[in-house]
Amino acid sequence: MPDKIQFESLAGLSPFEIKDELIKLARAGAEKSSGTFLNAGRGNPNWIATRAREAFFLLGQFALTEARRSYDDPVAGLAGMPPRDGAYQRFTRWIAKQTRIQEADWDDEDGIPPARTLGDAVEFAIAKFGFDPDAFLHELTDSIIGDNYPVPDRALHHNEIITHEYLMWAMCAGHPPGVKFDLYPVEGGTAAMCYLFKALKNQRLLNAGDTIALATPIFTPYLEMPELEDYGLHVIRVNAEQEDRFQLTESDLTALEDPTVKALFLVNPGNPSAAAMDRDSIRRLVDFVNTKRPDLMILTDDVYGTFVPDFESILGHLPRNTIGVYSYSKYFGCTGWRLGVIAVAQDNIFDERIAAHPAEVQTLLDKRYHALTPKPRELRFIDRIVADSRDVALNHTSGLSLPQQVMMTLFGLVEMMDAEKIYQKACIAICVKRFRNLVDGLGVESNPGPYFDHYYGVIDLEFWLRKYVGEDVVTWVKQNIHPLDIPFRLAEDHGIVLLNGSGFAAPNWSVRVSFANLNDDAYLSIGRAVRSIARGYVQAYQAATGKTVKL
């Protein structure tokens, strides 16, 4: 295990880089003790959504029959492109046959046959959105085959409509704000972050030396990207405290009154805090922006919102000011699919600020986009994001791959058809059970409240020791032990990987645990291991001071 000096050299690293060393120690520790290696350091869920996937793979089979309809050379393994005319009628015949075949060999405990899921999803979409049946089926078949570039490049026509409706449920508690958002499907939340930082810089909405605020704790890349020479942004932290259940208070917002603070970036629900903004926090921020900072740009990353019933994003309350980011990865168990979306209201301050640039900046931007349109000043912010994501010159080949967009379409449709929210309740129940197991292992009481998403958790040993054994122990521990000792001791002594909370601007003496990626019983073991480390610190304090405390 590193000594105190080595810990200091590691403290500046991303927790995701420290993780690699922790994994090595944990594997070795688990082998030495014949224990179990437990990696709760990364939030990849160990469940998947099956129904949309079943529909996806079945749709691919139909699409191949469509492709062979226009041209077929079975010897060479070569076919044509799926035709549009009559596609819906052919689909209804084909899906009816598949449904009969599947239902003949299907038991009730097997759930819904994939053919019925796919057929119901198509009929649901046509009825709900008034789609032209052939046009919708052709988008599905041609896209799942992947034989064309994305057209339109920003988002497929039907997919954007479906995804918009899904987001209004996922992000706006089923109560949309009454405005239209333009969507850009992207390669997961990761790509969304990269594209947005680049676009904000290229549009001169954020320039080197500008100040942005981060609502901390926050996902590590939001701390690291502004420091890159590509952006050179000055960062202030609006720190939500654990004592306030990680909610923004009136005093937290005071720092945003400074007009030199150009933007506020937040993750809601938090990563790693797992706390969603409650109604009071939303009201405070909305009132603040409307009365004091109507020019404030906001980026909200709401990946974990679907783990909080009736979640409300700031996107729905301040649509003009806000860029929304959502990823399908965690909720549907599809990190490998790389599915995300950027949302910008059609009426927004970003277009207004671009239009208000001084003449010399407008001329520079005209030059950047002149190859795309004879009127570059009319190019909207959302379309500039798309162009910048492909360095403008490759704008004609931009857009998320078509099979990925079909997967988004089916995830959205299956979720919308689930009126009882059976899937959502099942996902939440998995995380809640694991959270409770951890708390039982820790031997503490915890009631995080209705705005806690249970996807991650922050175990703050300083907060815990202060509550259960007193300030003297906390003072001694902070003077004699390095905060990174916690994750390293967990790895070496217990074969457990947790990430250091300090890497997320969470409390220094905390670790982040993911409730998504291990079996339920593992969290009881993790809780006991953390308690064992805390007990060890207390015993070291007693040995050094001669004082007796009870833990």
User: pLDDT by residue (tens digit) across 231-244?
Assistant: 999 999 999 888 78
Amino acid letter, residue 547: K
Range in 174-178, 408-412, 447-451, 482-486 the model is least confident about: 174-178
Amino acid letter, residue 277: M
**What whole-number distance in Å separates Cα of residue 208 and Cα of residue 204?**
9
Q: What is the pLDDT of residues 63-110, one digit of tens each?
A: 999 999 999 999 999 999 999 999 999 999 999 999 999 998 888 777
Per-residue pLDDT for 200 more than 60? yes
CA distances from 257 to 46, 87, 239, 390, 544 (A): 43, 57, 15, 35, 48
Per-residue pLDDT for 343 more than 90? yes
Q: What is the pLDDT of residues 100-144, one digit of tens each?
A: 999 988 887 778 999 999 999 999 999 999 999 999 999 999 999
What's the confidence (pLDDT) of residue 419?
A: 95
Per-residue pLDDT for 276 more than 90? yes
Q: Can you list the domains of the chain with their CATH numbers?
A: 7-36+423-545 (3.90.1150.10), 50-148 (1.10.20.110), 172-398 (3.40.640.10)
What's the confidence (pLDDT) of residue 3?
A: 55
H/E run at residue 455: none
What's the confidence (pLDDT) of residue 173?
A: 86
pLDDT > 90: percent of the chain: 85
Q: What is the mean pLDDT of the chain?
A: 94
3-class state of residue 29 by DSSP: helix
Per-residue pLDDT for 436 more than 60? yes
Confidence of residue 17 (pLDDT cuts 50, 70, 90): confident
- pTM here? 0.94
Q: What is the pLDDT of residues 444-464, one digit of tens each?
A: 888 889 999 999 999 999 988
Q: Around 12, how many Cα atoms within 13 Å sit in the side-chain half-sphere?
A: 5
Q: What is the pLDDT of residues 477-520, one digit of tens each?
A: 999 999 999 999 999 999 999 999 999 999 899 999 999 999 99
Pairing of strands 456-460, 510-514: antiparallel
